[in-house]
Structure formats: structure tokens, C-alpha cells
Amino acid sequence: MKTGMSSRERILATCAHKPIDHIPLHLDVHPLYFQYDPQAATWEDQFERTDALLALGADAMIEVWLPDPTFHPDVKVRSWREEKNDTVLLGKEYETPAGPLRHVIKETPDLYKWNKINGKTLGQFADNLIDGVGLLEDVNPSRSVEFPIKGPEDLPKMRYLFQPMGGERLAKWREDAFYAKKEAQKRQVVFIARRTYCGSALVWLTDAIKTMLTYEENPEYVGEFLQIIHEWQLATLEMVLDIGDIDIVTRFGYYDSPDFWGRKYFDYYLRPKMDQEADLVHQAGALLRQQQSEGVTQLVDIYKKMRIDILCDIDPVQGQEDMALLKKKLGATKTLMGGINGDLFLVNASPEEIDQTVRGTLELMAPGGGFIMHIIPGIYSGVPWAKVLSLIEAWKKYA
């Protein structure tokens, strides 16, 4: 066992299955938590958040978000807001050289409750991007009444919305990214780039249930849709890797589960693209992390053959993941990151239950290395900070 490791050294040594001073505990406090807990509300940006978590002894990471999609210069955007049958609808129309795309969602009170956190990095939380109707948002599946991509006829139009960033926007993004990199190096923490999400785009941009029914009857449609996103993501991934010293690239894989793809179509549609991402990331000396809280156990034999390095958000509670099986099948070659459910377990657990769960999880997952304790899906509103402190206390006792 080594002593006196920096957070970055500890995380990377864990991923390499090398000796470490103790099992890492990664804490990711979501921006929405700032509205919930007065202590977190004092953090101005992700750098102050990182300092606070390091002071507690935990491992935090500094992040840069991949460049957002840029529209072709010939695309014209029109937005509107209307009341219809006691429902407020928000609409956006993209007029492309290949024809129009329309996206309409229901306005809800929580739609605009996003806080700035990732200071000096552009991305999901930096500039309150949810202005009502967004292309790549988790609010889309539950609120959309008209999705922008309705079938194969829309794919030529879709290409105009997914162009690599350039010009002044790219220059500003690079400036912010280099600043975040410098701050990560100053604190000796892992520098991550987030996020790619090829499969998830299908859930955000289309009526997912209808699209799933086309897997067999129209595989060309699904394949071309994914390829448009994949090609654009590879281009933006190259931009972020060009910043240098990226340690980990994160894939948002919450919708890569068998619920949406099954085993057959995960293997056919997603696996090759994920492996291609991994190859590009590995060429830059970084690791690829799949963020997926459900279905990893069902896909364990497929993941064993894949080039993904880290499987993150492994959840034994809501995701019903078989931790012992995953440790046995993947523990020697992959890094498993998770083990502590936040939304159901941590929010309701007593200090004694937290202590027992932390101890049991570490006894199961720590042998042989390759395990990072992590709260799934992160620390969100509803998890009292006192529960987080109880978890840290138990972790320090057994890690």
C-alpha cells in the first residue's frame, strides 16, 4: 500500500489495479443540491466544490464539458410559447436547407431550476442552457408533445443541427477548458471530460417507444440516426482531447440499458461505437467511463469483451445490480464505481445502516483493487448533508 497519494494518483492507480493508500470515495454534488443545502449554496463554482470535498478527505474531480452542437449557418430558429387547453406549450422550429424540424414540450414549474456550477467551463450547467426547448435534455422524454425527429425523412435535416463548434465560440470554450485543466492540476485531482451520449440522443430527440419498434423493421433508420450523432461526437471528442492531460472521458449511458436496447441491439448498435470512442480516448492516454446505473449485470458478458475502462454508477438498489457477480466477472479488468444508492438508501438510512453498508460494500468490492466507492447517481436534493457526513465517517473507518 502506498502512502500520501494525491487524489489523482489514487484514482488512476485504482483504475490500473495498482497499490493505493486507501479505497477512493468519489463524491459528485449535483448543481441542484445548491438549492437544497445552505452549506453547498456557498460554493460559487466547481473549484470551490472540489476544495470542500477534498477537505473532507473524499475524492472529487474537475470537469470540462464537450463542446455543444453548433447549427449550420443556414439554419434559422423560431421559438414560441402558447396556452392550449390549460397547458402551456413551448415550441421551437429549426428551418434547415433540407426542410423544417419542430419540437414542442410542455412547460412545467421546475423547467428552469438549473444553477451555475461548472464555472470556467461551458456545458450543461454553465449558462442555464435549458431555455425552454433544448435538443439534448433529460426533460424531453417526459414533456415532449412533438419530438423533432419523427422518422427517416428527418435525418437529412438533423445533420444541419449537429456541426462541430468553431470560430469565437470554440476559442472561448478552449480558454475555459484550459483554465479548468490548470485548476485540476493545481489541486492534483482527476480532470474529466463529459460527456458523449450516442444512444441517449435517441431518447431525447425521438419518441423512444416508436423508435424501438423500428429496430427490426428499419435498422437503416436507427443506424443512420446514431451515426449522425456518433460522427459529431467523435469530432467534438477530438477537440476536448486536444486540450491535453484529460484523464477520463465520461459517456452518459443511463439510456443504454436493456430496457431500451435489449442485449441484441445493444451489441449491434452501441457496442461498436463505444469501442471506437474508447480507441480514440486511449490514443490520447485517457480512460473511458460508462455511466450506467441499470442493466450492467445483464450485459456483463458483452462488457467483458468491450474496451470501456470504468463502469460507473453501479447501483445495487434501484439498478438491482449484482455486485458480487460484477466483481467476479469484471473486477480484474474493469474499474467498478458505485455501490451506494443515494435516492432510496442514503436518504432514509440511519448512521448504523450506513456504517454496515459501507463496511459490507468495501469487504466485497475492495479485494484486488479496481473499486471506487461512489454515491449513485450523485448527491441530489433530498439527501441530507448529515447523511453524507455519516457515509464519509464510515468510509474513513473501513477504507
Give per-residue burial for 138-159: e unless 16+ CB within 10 Å, then b: bbbbebbeebbbeeeebbebbb
Q: How many CA atoms lie within 13 A of 176 on its CB side?
A: 24
Closest residue by Cα to residue 90 from 102, 78, 105: 105
343 vs 117, higher pLDDT: 343
What residues does each domain of the chain span?
A: 7-69+112-398
- State how far the Cα of 9 lies from the Cα of 1, in Å rounded to an integer: 13
- CA 251 – CA 243 distance, rounded (Å): 18
Percent of the chain topping pLDDT 70: 92
Say what the pLDDT of residue 112 is: 64
Closest to 269 (Cα-Cα) out of 200, 322, 337, 338? 200
Q: Which bin fits 275, alpha (ψ -120 to 50), beta or left (φ > 0)?
A: alpha
Give the residue-averaged pLDDT of 133-146. Answer: 88
Q: What is the pLDDT of residue 85?
A: 84
Residue 184 has pLDDT above 50, yes or no: yes
Topology (CATH) of 7-69+112-398: TIM Barrel (3.20.20)
The Cα 312–Cα 291 span in angstroms is 5
- Report residue 271 as a C-alpha cell: 457496442
> In terms of C-beta density within 10 A (0-12 exposed, 13-18 middle, 19 or more buried), how is residue 69 classed?
middle
Name the residue with higher pLDDT: 36 or 221: 221
- d(CA 243, CA 172) in angstroms, rounded, equals 13
Check residue 32 and give its pLDDT: 67
pLDDT in tens, 19-58: 999 999 999 887 667 666 777 767 878 898 899 999 999 9
**Looking at residues 4-32, what average pLDDT do you find?**
93
Contact 129, 68 (CB under 8 A): yes
The rounded Cα 222 to chain-centroid distance in angstroms is 22
Q: Which pLDDT does position 34 carry in this prediction?
A: 65
* pLDDT tens string 242-281: 999 999 999 999 999 999 999 999 999 999 999 999 999 9
Give the pLDDT mean for 356-384: 93
> SS3 string of the chain?
CCCCCCHHHHHHHHHCCCCCCCCCEECCECHHHHHCCCCHHHCCCHHHHHHHHHHCCCECEEEEECCCCECCCCCEEEEEEEEECCEEEEEEEEEECCEEEEEEEECCCCCCCCCCCCCCCCCCCCCCCCCCCCCCCCCHHHHEEECCCCCHHHHHHHHHHCECCCHHHHHHHHHHHHHHHHHHHHHCCEEEEEEECHHHHHHHHCCHHHHHCHHHHCHHHHHHHHHHHHHHHHHHHHHHHCCCCCCEEEEECCCCCHHHHHHHHHHHHHHHHHHHHHHHHHHCCCEEEEECCCCCCCCHHHHHHCCCCEEEEECCCCCCCCHHHHHHHHCCCCEEEEEEEHHHHHCCCCHHHHHHHHHHHHHHHCCCCCEEEEEECCECCCCCHHHHHHHHHHHHHHC
For CA atoms 304, 305, 311, 315, the dihedral sign is: negative
Asked if the model's pLDDT at residue 117 lies above 70, the reply is no
User: How far does the chain reach from its first CA to its final CA, in angstroms?
Assistant: 12
**Amino acid 138: pLDDT:** 84
